[in-house]
Amino acid sequence: MSEEYSSLLGAFEGMRVAVVGDYLLDRYIVGHSARVSREAPIVVIEHEREVNHPGGAANAAQNISALGAVAVAVGVLGDDSEGSALSALLSERGVDASGLVVDEHAHTSTKLRILAGEMNAQKQQVARVDRSHRVVLDGSLRERLSAVAEAAVASCDAVLVSDYGMGVTSDGIASAVLAGANARGIPVVIDSRFNLADFAGATVATPNEVESLDALGIRSGARIEDAELASRLIKHSGIESFVVTQGSQGMLVCHPDGTCSRVGIVGSNEATDVTGAGDTVSAVVALSLASAATLLDAARMATYAAAVVVMKRGTATASVDEIRQLVKRFPVADRS
């Protein structure tokens, strides 16, 4: 089985995936805790450094690029320093950023995380400040975004829609992308925080369990592995299948007929940082399906990649070599 997964990893090289969605900048301020403030009962943090990473759809795109494939970015950036920084980061990491539309009326959304600890200790996240800006798709901006989205879908082997609720997939953009992909017979993977029902006709969605239950209007007291709930989720959304992530419990693959398969985690269940792991899962599922893998094998491959990134700090990626090493150490990903 490890040879099959190694072969699948090799098939990623040269694949093209259109990543349509909300592009965010993840900014980290790292420092050390120096003393308690005289002004309030809080710790004063001495600034050490500031680091930028791609976030949201941008993190999914860099995960695709890190695996030897071509990520074609489709989204909207503000005409601001954050947008410039994000575009430069993506280009440095091999992402085709030519489809990112810069608009003077838009603002690039940013998640600022503050990490601190003692001078020689491992830094921990102590606060996060979000600057969220919803994109308003007026006539001109919508036309420009539609044009780059149509061109990207026409040139790619799969589509990944990364919807963080900031407006890029609204106003008919998602439906146009789905129509174009379905006409070409290429897989469409949906990673949506809030609007799964807006993507009927997609191949697969990759929500976590809370998001999948929210889509059914269920707030607590249920588990998605209930066959009836899995069937309801597929019928309610119109999406063909689901890969539901469940943290340390692994993933649940919900097939079109409503049956489910469990995929257990690999490696340690003591994650260092789960930031961006969902982006990794959706990216690897898209690449695997583009490479003609089954849905179950796509989920297993995503499990390997996620096991790599959760052991790294911040929004991280997994390389082909890192995943291959994990496949050799844990040759059977499904340990249920």
**Contact predicate 107/78, CB 8 Å:** yes
User: What's the rounded Cα separation, in Å, for the pair 214 and 195?
Assistant: 10
**Contact predicate 14/69, CB 8 Å:** yes
Q: Is 279 a catalytic residue?
A: yes
pLDDT digits (tens, 9 = 90+) for 303-326: 999 999 988 876 789 999 999 999
pLDDT for the residue numbered 21:
97
Three-state SS for 161?
strand
pLDDT for the residue numbered 225:
66
User: What's the rounded Cα separation, in Å, for the pair 247 and 250?
Assistant: 6
Query: What is the average pLDDT across 215-244?
Result: 80
Domains and CATH numbers, the chain: 2-24+56-108+134-329 (3.40.1190.20)
Contacts of 275 (CB under 8 A, 6+ apart): 26, 314, 315, 316
Residue 78 pLDDT class (50, 70, 90 cuts)? very high
pLDDT for the residue numbered 57:
97
For residue 139, report the phi and psi dihedrals to the nearest 5 degrees.
-55, -50
pLDDT for the residue numbered 334:
44
Query: What is the average pLDDT across 269-278?
Result: 68
Least confident of 71-75, 155-159, 276-280: 276-280
pLDDT digits (tens, 9 = 90+) for 163-193: 999 999 998 999 999 999 999 999 999 999 8
pLDDT for the residue numbered 258:
82
Q: Is the pLDDT of residue 333 over 50?
A: no
Query: What is the average pLDDT across 195-218?
Result: 89
Q: List the 110-117 sheet strands across, edge first.
A: 43-56, 23-36, 110-117, 124-131
Residue 34 pLDDT class (50, 70, 90 cuts)? confident
pLDDT for the residue numbered 242:
94
**Which residue, among 49, 129, 48, 58, has the nearest Cα to 89 in the 3D structure?**
58
pLDDT for the residue numbered 86:
98
Q: Which of 22, 279, 297, 334 is catalytic?
A: 279
pLDDT digits (tens, 9 = 90+) for 82-116: 999 999 999 999 999 999 999 999 999 999 999 99
Q: Is the pLDDT of residue 59 over 50?
A: yes
Q: Is the pLDDT of residue 271 over 60?
A: no
pTM (2 d.p.)? 0.91
* Structure tokens given for 236: 């309610």
